[in-house]
Structure 1
Amino acid sequence: MVSVESFREQFNRLKEVEGGKDQLIEDLISRVEKIQHSFTEKEWHLEREQETTKLYQTKHYDVQVKLKKTEEEIGSNGFVSVLIDGDCVPFVDHFVESAQQGGKEAACHLRNKVCEYASTELDLPSNIQIRVRVYANTKGLASAYCYNKILGSADGLQMFVRGFNMGHPMCDFVDAGDGKECADSKLKAWFEHDMADVQCQAVIFGGSADDGYARLLQPYIGGNSKSKRIVLVEGPPFAKELAVLKDKFLIVHFPDVFRGTKLPSRRVSFSTTPSPTPISRAPSYATTIASPVDATAVTIDKSRHSSTTIIVPARMDYPILQNSKGQRLDEILNPPQSLVQAQRNKKLCNAYHILGECPYPKCTKTYVHGSRLDEKGLEARRLIARQSPCRSGLQCRDAKCILGHECPDKACIGTRCRFPRETHDVDRT
């Protein structure tokens, strides 16, 4: 017979098992509650992120719509600017000879040629707006046409200009005045204005015979998006300084519109003041050459305004470039930047490599002489030497001076610069 104590022991064991089961169930319920709470919180965060994403997607879509609309507006109002220096890139003779009718035909022909070029070469719409501005000293230009017997009187050019302005509402031939820089300054101002205009798809610039435009174009060298918008018109051959830069830009020829040669002007000769220093290489019309003994007078046509009689010595070593005011200029140099950087890291004697002679006997202890640089290396070295200003500045007449006479930083305005204020933005005509 089983005792009562035995039943009690069994009962106690069952109670312990039941208690453990209840605790397990409570622990499981507590864990599920925590997981459910965490899930609810994550779900709430997810919903908030989804709302934020939808908001930004809506904003992104709105921005894309606005951007597309803006691009369409820019495209619909886009234009090609044609800027021509009428003094150095003259129209072909038969247009000018035909007076008013010739002016109308010239405007029409030029627009058609530009439109065709813009469509085929620049991949612009065939119906893009063409704006043409021609600036010239009409008084001097009329005199040149009369001198060359293309016109019988100055009135013929006025009739041509009138016809050109009547040829199309977007064609303007403007008398810039009879000052030497009048046409240049207007063209430069419009060039910079149009290059800054996002609606201007291209600037077709005609000033090939004038070296003064080299400085205007130099900041756009480098293959950037702006340089790809510039197209240079070659009428007469490019002047010396422009010829150095022309390969950096697109080139177009309109032989049916513009003369391929300069228009000879009436010659007014004058002699430059001789200098005791012999000079080398034949100068351009903007070059003033010093004359020792045995010199020969040579007349060089300036293509615009007048001709200059320059005294060219029989034996010469170095050229001195001067502008119309007699101020010293530095020849434009464009060596590869990688070569310039490499040259900066070398302690070379500038006098020895550039001039071929060094006046300092102990120089070799500090600076390298040895074999002289090749042509490209020499050009880079000359550019480096110009980083130091010449004390005489624009008044320097030393033919062997290798220092800088103009501030080499074209964007500099003269504030806190080693170069004097007057060496900034020097007229290179």
Structure 2
Amino acid sequence: MNRKMDVMDVNGGGGIMDFIQRFQQLQLQRDSSDELIKDLLIYSEHVESSLRQENQHLRGQINDANLDLADATKSRRELQQRVKELEHQVGFVSMDNDHLKNYNPYVVVLIDGDGCHFKQDFVNRGIDGGKQAAYALRSAILTECHSHAGEIEVIAKVVANLGGLAKAMRRDGCLANEATLKDFTLGFSQGMASFDFVDVGHGKERTDTKIKEAIRWNLRNHNCKQIVLGVSHDAGYAPFLDEILRDEASRRRITILEGTPSVRDLTNSGLNILNLNAELFRAEKLVDKAHRETTPLVTTSPVSTVAGMSPLPPPSATPVNSTSNGPNGAPSYATAIKSASPPPQVTLPFQPKPVKAPTTKREKPAPWNPGARGLDPPLVVNQASLENIKKRKDSNKLCNNHYLRGPCAKGDACCFEHKYRPNENEKTAIAFLARLNPCTNGQDCEVDDCIYGHHCPSTNDGQCTHPYCKFKPWEHPPNTKFRPTYQWLDEE
């Protein structure tokens, strides 16, 4: 009874439509769940596909990486093996290099014989003296090598203008015969197989050039342990040495061999200085003793000539009368002595009275001859034209070669002016300015139309007027006076 009532209550509460509605709601939820599941399955499939592709890609990369690793490992092992082999080779090469560097080590002595001179005792003994000088030089250098003396070879080269040196030594009075000097040089070259005395002939630059090139060559040779330079007299080597000695190691390989005292520029360079004057070299420069002025001697004799005075007149005699005469009427010696005025007494120092010295005609000195080429033809320069030419600067400067010897071989590549048309005065001014630059061949120049100077053109009345003259002292007349700014004063 009760159960029937429950069914009826249900039916009476809405009937079948409620179930249908509830079923539809459930159906919608189920459809939504199905859609969700379907979307989840589609998404999962997409993710799985992406992961599968990425996994495949990563597997490929891992495979490539494994191959690369295997190859790198193989290459590394090969390189390690190669490095070991090369290390062994480097060790051998280093040993060979050290052996080669220390094989036949030597010290080279380069002497500018125009200014660094051996003691006269050696020179006067000719061939024997030359040999003894060579032995003494080698011994002195090896002494400086200390414990390495047994391994070191000494090479020596003296470079000089032998003719000019012989003349200078004769003027100095230390050489009687030029053949003696020649014999000395032969003995020096014969004394040791590695010793040479080289005659380069006339021209200062020839000696300099030969020595400078020898310095460059030996400095590049690692077997050369030391370069000893006999150039203490010449400041011209200082700029050259500063140029080529760029590091401390190369500077330590240079030593200045001192004959005459080292010039200031070389002393300031900080190079080692070796003095062998006690054994080998003379410390004094050669001088022209023939032109030295001698000072007159002064004595206290009453009848002597005091410097700056005329000779005193002979004592004057008083008239002699007949009673003072001798038996023959002639004045006796005693009478003459008594009647003569006493001689004047001269006490030094004595201020002489001004006396006119008799005028004597002095012979004109012979014109100065600078050398084989002689004097350059004189130029009469117009000062205004000279100033106009000197005002030109940089690329506006006139080309000396073009206007004096033209046309310029450089053509358009020349950095100087070619188009200007100078007048005759200006051409002379150009020639004068060109002559202020020394010719590299000096008096040995054989070019007839050479535009450069072969001696100083600025010397006037014994004075070099150019403050920065480029010519060496010997390219001026003897006893020329220079400005304080002259660069070669140390060579005087």
- The DSSP-based 3-state class of the residue aligned with 1:225 is helix
Residues 291 and 304 (structure 1), Cα distance of their counterparts in 2 relative to 1, 3 Å cut: closer
Identity rate of aligned residues, in percent? Answer: 26
d(CA) in 2 for partners of 1:305, 1:257? 30
Corresponding residue for 2:226? 202
Query: In structure 2, what is the equivalent of residue 309 of structure 1?
Result: 479
Structure 2 CA distance for aligned equivalents of residues 176 and 38 of structure 1: 75
Q: Which amino acid aligns with 2:159?
A: Y
How far, CA to CA, are the matches of 1:85 and 1:292 in structure 2? 29
Whether the aligned pair in 1 keeps the contact of 2:161 and 2:202 (CA below 8 Å) is: yes
What is residue 49 of structure 2 aligned with on the other side?
none
1:259 corresponding residue in structure 2: 282
1:142-173 Cα shifts (integer Å, max 9, x gaps)? 12222333222101001101110110110000
The equivalences for 1:272-283 within 5 A come to none
Equivalent in the alignment of 2:138:
111
- How many residues in Structure 1 have an aligned counterpart in Structure 2? 265
- Report what 2:81 is aligned to: 54
Unaligned segments of structure 1, at least 5 residues: 1-34, 271-285, 296-301, 313-317, 324-330, 333-427
The whole-number CA distance in structure 2 between the counterparts of 1:222 and 1:40 is 54
Q: Does the 8 Å CA contact 1:109/1:257 hold for their aligned counterparts?
A: yes
| Structure-1 separation of matches of 2:250 and 2:136 | 27
- SS of 1:181's partner is helix
Question: Which residue in 1 is equivalent to 2:484?
Answer: 319
| Aligned mates of 2:199, 2:256 — CA distance in 1 | 22
SS of corresponding position for 2:131:
helix
Q: SS where residue 479 of structure 2 aligns? A: strand
C-alpha contact 2:123 2:130 (8 A) present in aligned 1: yes
Q: SS of the counterpart of 2:167?
A: helix
What SS is found at the alignment partner of 2:107?
Answer: strand
Alignment correspondent of 1:175: 199
- Per-residue deviation, residues 166-198 of structure 1 (Å, max 9, x unmatched): 101100001110223221121112111211223
Q: Choose which of 159, 180, 195 in structure 2 pairs with 1:156.
A: 180
1:221, distance to aligned residue in structure 2 (A) = 5.0
CA distance, structure 2, for counterparts of residue 188 and residue 137 of structure 1: 16
Cα root mean square deviation, aligned: 4.1
For the Cα contact (< 8 Å) 2:127–2:186, is it kept in 1?
A: yes
Q: Which of 184, 195, 211 in structure 1 is aligned with 2:208?
A: 184
Partner of 2:190: 166
Q: Secondary structure at the match of 1:211?
A: coil
2:93 to 45, 56, 66: 66
Structure 2: 5+ residue runs without aligned partners? 1-61, 292-364, 369-455, 466-471
Give the drift of 1:61.
Answer: 1.0
**1:356-388 Cα deviation digits (max 9, x unpaired):** xxxxxxxxxxxxxxxxxxxxxxxxxxxxxxxxx
C-alpha displacement of 1:70? 2.4
2:272 to 245, 250, 257: 250
In 1, the alpha carbon distance for the partners of 2:462 and 2:177 equals 44
Paired amino acid for 2:115: C
Q: Deviations over 1:319-367 (max 9, x none)?
A: 33267xxxxxxx99xxxxxxxxxxxxxxxxxxxxxxxxxxxxxxxxxxx
Distance 1:85 1:198 in 2: 23
C-alpha separation in 1, matches of 2:182 and 2:121: 15
Cα separation, partners in 2 of 1:267 and 1:56, compared to 1, 3 Å: farther
For residues 65 and 198 of structure 2, the distance between their equivalents in structure 1, rounded to whole angstroms, comes to 79
- 8 Å Cα contact 2:107-2:228 kept in structure 1: yes
> Is the deviation greater in 138-147 or in 90-99?
138-147
Match for 2:285: what amino acid? K
Q: Where does residue 96 of structure 1 map in the other structure?
A: 123
The CA distance in 1 between the partners of 2:106 and 2:462, in whole Å, is 55
CA deviation vs aligned residue, 1:108-146 (integer Å, no higher than 9, x gap)? 1101111221x23xx745321211100111112112222
- Normalising to structure 1: TM-score of the pair? 0.53
* Paired letter, 1:235: G
Instruction: Quote the residue 1:87 is aligned against.
Output: 114
Shift of 1:86: 0.9
The answer as to whether partners of 1:86 and 1:134 remain within 8 angstroms in 2 is yes
Given that 2:462 and 2:479 are in contact with CA atoms closer than 8 Å, whether structure 1 keeps it comes out as no
Amino acid corresponding to residue 155 of structure 2 in structure 1? R
Structure 1 counterpart SS, 2:197: strand
The residue aligned with 1:392 is: none
Would the aligned equivalents of 1:266 and 1:307 in 2 still touch at CA under 8 Å? no
| TM-superposed deviation, 1:48 | 4.8
Cα offset, 1:214, TM superposition: 1.6
CA distance in 2, matches of 1:308, 1:225: 42
- Is 1:140 aligned to 2:164, yes or no? yes
* Structure 1 residues 218 and 48: CA distance shift in structure 2, 3 A: closer
